[in-house]
Chains A and B, each alone.
Chain A
Amino acid sequence: MPRVTYISQDQKATTLDVDVGTSVMQAAVFNGVDGIVAECGGSCMCATCHVYVREDQLALCPPLETDEDAMLEGTASARLPNSRLSCQLVVSEQMDGLVVTLPETQT
């Protein structure tokens, strides 16, 4: 099962085993990783599940679609080149070892 590591603002790392097909957002919410709000429940409507993906792993992730790209304009913390909405990061085998850093704030 692919593993995803979440790094909080205070550098605390949480690693989860995530089922293929589950999003990085869902895994975090369901396992009580703080720092992801996901107000809209994963509909790409709210931009409150913002994460920073480790730069060298961006290519392993599903491509950035138009809607996500647009909603990333509204993140509460600064959008960076490695910003993604974690509801759109559906985990695949090739994403094993993914490391995402949580932003300072989501709202």
Chain B
Amino acid sequence: MAQEPIIIVGAGHAGFQVAASLRQHAFEGGIVLIGDEPVLPYQRPPLSKDYLDGKIGLDLLLMRPGAFYRDHRIDYLPGTRVSEIDRAGKAVLLASGECLHYSHLVLATGARNRVPALPGIELDGVAYLRTLAETDLLRDRLAAADDIVVIGAGFIGLEFAAVARQHGKSVHIVELTERAMGRVVSHATSGFFAEAHRRTGVHFSFGAQAARIAGDRGRVDHVELVDGARLKADLVLVSIGVVPNGELAATAGLAVANGIVVNEELATADPAISAIGDCASFPCRHAAGQPTRLEAVQNAADHARCVADRLVGKPHPYGALPWFWSEQGKLRLQIAGLTTGHDRTVPRGSVESGEFSVFCYQGGTLLGVESINRPADHAHARRLLAAGRMITPEQAADESFDLRAAATARAA
């Protein structure tokens, strides 16, 4: 009997990369890649930037052209939903009723938009920015909009705000916390970005909460805040984060706690099932082994490579350094490492010049580095952190200290 295929549920960055890496490793078995969107796998980061802005089309967004899947014998099933996992039978049940057997199952189910329970959330003119379809809709709406309210000042909200301002639209961002990108960056970086966006004309309400979205004949008219303020709007972008898609795993009896729980090799408690990317909670070497769930291309792709290695008989614990980026107008933010829990920040370069890095320390240990228009610092920081090398806060702050030499030095 022929070996059953490896089935990958989810065709985002993580799912696609597992399939591609398996073939790179000359894996000969069957590969089934299941996606719930109707298009070929595509790259998400440009959605909120060049694609939204019309600078690139779908052709440049695709991970690979259609021929790639045929040439590499990857059986891609678009527009397909998995309704259930039958662990005992090692099979997935599709919404169509079809049953597919697997030798190994990779869950790369990603995440979905967090939708607030706001009155008026169903109104025409309330938009999201995660999928291609949502972005196509948003792009049309953006062209016709005058007054935009963005709910949530995270990466997506700010990236969208920058594009919208470039199109001359009025933009007001409502953020529940006291600062921009508060979940992921230091106060210094947060403050710099908020100020930079303000200078381009973006309005912010921090520590503010939307109470309802009010409509007029089914169309968005304004957003009302809890404090009673009314913000005129003909387009509302909801960008308050995501929820990991863990339901398939949970229903199959696998542990889910802010993501599908996996071990250091990214396997679930069922050795025939792995989980990777945005939907996976893994013990992160760069977070002192704490359960960690990341929403990032790097994480998705490196998780995928780790699982592909294991599936071709070369298992190893996952240990890649997390890194992230965001482009907001002319500002390029690059983050190396995980800075959560830092108790000291040290700037390198001048904040006033708009080209600087923030080194984040916890008890003297370098956790991560945020670089704003300082790509060389980012490149060096990635090397330093990946190798587990340390530089002192004093060295970080000293521009004459040779970061490059420190990053590339041979281990002592």
Contact = CB atoms under 8 A, between A and B. Distances in A.
A56 interface: no
A26 B43 CA distance: 13
Nearest to A26: B60
A5 to B, nearest CB: 20
Contact of A41 (B45, B65, B302, B305): B45
Contacts of A67: 332, 375
A41 B56 CA distance: 12
Interface in B50-78: 60, 64-65, 68, 71-72
A71 B375 contact: yes
Nearest to B377: A70
B297 A32 contact: no
B278 interface: no
A45 B379 CA distance: 9
B24 interface: yes
Most chain B beta-carbon neighbours within 10 Å: one of A29, A32, A45: A45
Tell me what chain A mostly uses at the interface: helix, strand, loop, or mixed.
loop
Contacts of B297: 39-41
A99 B111 CA distance: 41
B334 interface: yes
A94 interface: no
A41 B404 CA distance: 25
A94 B301 CA distance: 35
A29 B327 contact: no
A43 B60 contact: no
Contacts of A74: 378-380, 382-383
B46 interface: yes
Tell me what chain B mostly uses at the interface: helix, strand, loop, or mixed.
helix
A14 to B, nearest CB: 13
Contacts of A34: 24
A40 B50 CA distance: 13
Nearest to A67: B375
B325 interface: yes
A86 B297 CA distance: 19
Interface string A69-100: 11111100000000000000000000000000
A69 B375 CA distance: 9
A107 interface: yes
Given A43-B45, A45-B325, A73 B64 contact: no
B387 interface: no
A47 interface: yes
Contacts of A37: 301
A50 to B, nearest CB: 12
Contact of B404 (A32, A69, A73): A73
Interface in B296-330: 297-298, 301-302, 305, 323, 325, 327
B45 A107 contact: no
Interface in A48-76: 66-67, 69-74
A67 to B, nearest CB: 5
Nearest to B380: A73
A32 B334 contact: no
A43 B301 contact: no
List of 7 A-B pairs having minimum Cβ-Cβ separation, nearest first: A74-B379, A70-B376, A70-B375, A73-B379, A45-B325, A41-B43, A71-B375
15 contacts: A30-B64, A30-B65, A32-B71, A37-B301, A39-B298, A40-B325, A41-B45, A45-B375, A46-B298, A46-B325, A47-B379, A73-B380, A73-B407, A74-B380, A74-B383
Interface of B: 24, 43, 45-46, 49, 60, 64-65, 68, 71-72, 297-298, 301-302, 305, 323, 325, 327, 332, 334, 374-376, 378-380, 382-383, 404, 407
